[in-house]
Amino acid sequence: MRRLLADIEYRLATPADAATIAEMSRTLIEAGLGWSWTEQRVAQAIRNRDTLAVAAVQGPGIAGFGLMDFGDETAHLSLFAVRGDLQRQGIGAGMFEWLRRSALVAGIARINLELRARNLHAQAFYRALGFEQVGRVPGYYRGREPALRMALHLRKPFR
């Protein structure tokens, strides 16, 4: 059954969400690599004033999340995922729109990210959002798996 986006609420993630986000990262993003985004690391990122953490919530549970670090003119999308049973329903696009608008307000010129080179669904998702591949990094993931580096240009940089 396809769920309606009206069921989804987008909000800032809180440290209370860290355990759920960490577990989702472990299964949806870091599967087969070991676990680096532990509850403590996620909570620290959420508390960091240079990080924007968004959660897509459905009822009492988290349907998806995004963590983006802000610099002077560039932002880095560190973590981004939607629960498997809720993918391809616009939830990720809604979360990313919040992050993109926040980046524009903050004066960000470019958003960068890395993703597993073999993750074709994620590549298609980010391309549909306007990202372009700007590089490939052999062994990026624990020396075992390559990453694609992608970027979304929001405006021309000042420098």
**pLDDT at residue 5 in the model:** 58
Distance CA 50, CA 72 (A): 10
Q: Which residues of the chain have pLDDT under 50?
A: 1-4
For residue 150, the tally of other CB atoms under 10 A from its CB is 22
Q: Where are the alpha helices (DSSP H) in the chain?
A: 18-28, 39-47, 91-105, 120-128
Domain 5-153: what homologous superfamily?
Gcn5-related N-acetyltransferase (GNAT) (3.40.630.30)
**pLDDT at residue 96 in the model:** 96
Distance CA 84, CA 98 (A): 21
Angle (CA) 133 142 17, round 5°: 80
State residue 65 phi and psi, 5-degree precision. Answer: -155, 160
**pLDDT at residue 74 in the model:** 96
**pLDDT at residue 11 in the model:** 95
Distance CA 67, CA 76 (A): 9
**pLDDT at residue 1 in the model:** 33
For residue 151, the Cα-to-chain-centroid distance in whole angstroms is 13
**pLDDT at residue 52 in the model:** 96
Whether residue 81 contacts residue 65, with contact meaning beta carbons closer than 8 Å, is answered with yes
Angle (CA) 85 86 92, round 5°: 140
